[in-house]
Amino acid sequence: MAAEKIILDAGERSLEIPTGLFINNEFLPSHTGDTLDTLNPATGEKLATVSAASKHDIDAAVEAAKLAFKSWKDTLPTTRQALLLKLADLIERDAEDLAALEALDGGILLSQSSGMHIPNATATLRYFAGWADKIDGRSINIPTGIAYTRREPIGVCAAIVPWNAPLVVTIWKLAPCLVAGNTLIIKSSELTPLYGIKLAMLTKEAGFPPGVVNILAGLGPVAGQALAEHMEVRKVAFTGSVLTGRSILKAAAASNLKKVTLELGGKGPTIIFNDADFDNAVLWASVGITAHNGQICAAGSRIYVQEGIYENFIAAFKEASQKAILGDPLLATTTKGPIVSATQHANIMSYIEKGKQEGARLLHGGAVPSDGSQSVENTAFVDVGEDMTIMKEEIFGPVAAIAKFKTEDEVIEKANNTEYGLSSAIFTNDISRAHRISNALECGQVTVNAWGTLNPNLPFGGVKQSGYGRDMGEESLDGWTVVKAVSYNMLPPQ
């Protein structure tokens, strides 16, 4: 039985999408009839009711992916390449629809989705399409003859993706997974399921065979747990919280020791030296903590400023980060949208209160919204101590913790004083200093004189409790392939 369709009002456009689970190229209701409501964070109103995957539905998706893998792994590289390129073209064609769905469902600014997320998604598909016929092994000299290695697909894989940048993070996993010859089950977040339904429509239109891509909305403790525990799933890629990452690792260990890659939280340092281009540093430091309301794992939430420019920086940062225009994320004039959910909103406000209680000086923001909305003012605390909660824990909101430093050694120690290690930014006009600090920082990404640079050919991922494995770049293919060694005995008979 096919799933029902709904029509969504997205301002100047209406969007018709199915409400079912995408399994084996068909939209189906959940086997158990389970559903979930997705809300518009800008209004708090229900957008839609969609099917929620049960364990039975995960089993069905795995069976479809397992059957499809038998032929997909041997599909010509040029065919896989053509399908990825076609999907990129279709996403580009329907970019306005996808951007509207992210705005409605996740409170993501239309301009951010259409201007950054979708271009990165299509560029990532095209980048990995180019790898289709280049996933090679190597020849090796051995004493007994000759040997070579093959990089082969893993099999049935799963991707559990977040709500904060749903389309682009999904593509970061889908593109290398499929080009390597694997089949994939995507679990979209219960907070942002609508983009996944639209993406499923496009994968079918692009011509991917049934079962190669399956997309299911569902709750983490149900659908996500079922994927992590499934004996036929050979790999799980996860982007999200440290707590959930730990549970996935436990489930993988307790089941079939499936391969796991994790991109988890962050508490990124932004380091600004006296000799930095001042206006550039202020701009990027502000963007680094306010973009998408700071609901970004790579957010520059700890800002360390050298003492010679500290007071001037504070004044300029306050002015820059208070320019936000709060409003409907579908409107081009809006520069600040809502927090994704009431739960997340309450969590951010609790951290702001902790900052006040622990004695950090409030520079601006931090007020409880008088209209009861899910909005949070861009907020900054200054003179924040290393032992304060807002300096140590990931807030996932537009809350900056700013502190002063004197020397390179001091700021390196402070920047590395965290269990996270995802992203960081350095602002200086001294190239030697930038090199020294970059080498000393314990993180997976360093951006010099900017914040959060992302490119499809540049690997992205973390160290320490920010996880392991990489999205994007050639390095990400390691997470979607296994290496087989083949050797030939060429010695004459004894």
Q: Is residue 211 part of a domain?
A: yes
Q: What's the pLDDT at 147?
A: 97
CA-closest candidate to residue 352, choices 297, 311, 404, 294: 294
pLDDT at 1 over 70: no
Q: Which residues contact 387 (CB under 8 A, 6 or more apart)?
A: none
Kindly report the pTM of this predicted structure.
0.95
Average pLDDT over residues 199-204: 98
Per residue in 350-396, pLDDT (tens digit) is 999 999 999 999 999 999 887 778 999 999 999 999 999 999 999 99
Q: Looking at the structure, do residues 306 and 448 belong to the same domain, yes or no?
A: yes
Q: Looking at the structure, do residues 124 and 33 belong to the same domain, yes or no?
A: yes
% pLDDT > 90, the chain: 91
Q: Looking at the structure, do residues 134 and 159 belong to the same domain, yes or no?
A: yes
| Largest interatomic CA distance in the chain | 89
Q: Which of 263, 377, 394, 443 does the annotation list as catalytic?
A: 263
Q: Is residue 449 part of a domain?
A: yes
**Residue 260, phi then psi, degrees to nearest 5:** -135, 135
Q: Looking at the structure, do residues 163 and 297 belong to the same domain, yes or no?
A: no
DSSP secondary structure of 208-256: PPTTTEEEEE--IIIIIHHHHH-TT--EEEEES-HHHHHHHHHHHHHTT
Q: Is residue 461 part of a domain?
A: no
Local structure of 26: helix, strand or coil: strand
Contact of 264 with 467, CB cutoff 8 Å: yes
Average pLDDT over residues 462-485: 97
Number of domains in the chain: 2
Q: Looking at the structure, do residues 148 and 63 belong to the same domain, yes or no?
A: yes
Q: Decide if 297 is catalytic.
A: yes
Q: Looking at the structure, do residues 48 and 195 belong to the same domain, yes or no?
A: yes
Contact of 211 with 182, CB cutoff 8 Å: no
CA-closest candidate to residue 396, choices 166, 193, 164, 219: 164
Q: Looking at the structure, do residues 331 and 439 belong to the same domain, yes or no?
A: yes
CATH code for the domain in which residue 167 is found: 3.40.605.10
Strand partners, 235: 157, 259
| DSSP single-letter state for residue 116 | I
Specify the pairing of strand 139-142 against strand 13-18: unpaired
Q: Is residue 491 part of a domain?
A: no
Q: Is residue 74 part of a domain?
A: yes
Q: Is residue 489 part of a domain?
A: no
pLDDT at 73 over 70: yes
Q: Decide if 263 is catalytic.
A: yes
Per residue in 156-179, pLDDT (tens digit) is 999 999 999 999 999 999 999 999
Q: Looking at the structure, do residues 110 and 235 belong to the same domain, yes or no?
A: yes
Q: Which of 297, 377, 394, 443 does the annotation list as catalytic?
A: 297
Average pLDDT over residues 228-248: 97
Q: Looking at the structure, do residues 100 and 60 belong to the same domain, yes or no?
A: yes
* 461 against 368, higher pLDDT: 461
Q: Looking at the structure, do residues 131 and 278 belong to the same domain, yes or no?
A: no
Average pLDDT over residues 462-481: 98
Q: Looking at the structure, do residues 334 and 443 belong to the same domain, yes or no?
A: yes
Average pLDDT over residues 231-249: 97
How many helices (DSSP H) and strands (DSSP E) are in the chain?
15, 22
H or E segment at 63?
helix 55-72
Q: What's the pLDDT at 3?
A: 65
% pLDDT > 70, the chain: 99
| DSSP single-letter state for residue 113 | I
* 6 against 225, higher pLDDT: 225
Q: What's the pLDDT at 446?
A: 98
CA–CA separation, 494 and 490 (whole Å): 12
State the pLDDT confidence band at 9, using cuts at 50, 70 and 90.
Answer: confident
Per residue in 177-199, pLDDT (tens digit) is 999 999 999 999 999 999 999 99
CATH code for the domain in which residue 323 is found: 3.40.309.10
Per residue in 83-95, pLDDT (tens digit) is 999 999 999 999 9
Q: Is residue 91 part of a domain?
A: yes
Q: Looking at the structure, do residues 310 and 276 belong to the same domain, yes or no?
A: yes
Other CB atoms closer than 10 Å to residue 221's CB: what's the count?
10
Domain with 375 in it: 269-456
Q: What's the pLDDT at 372?
A: 74
Q: Which residues contact 279 (CB under 8 A, 6 or more apart)?
A: 316
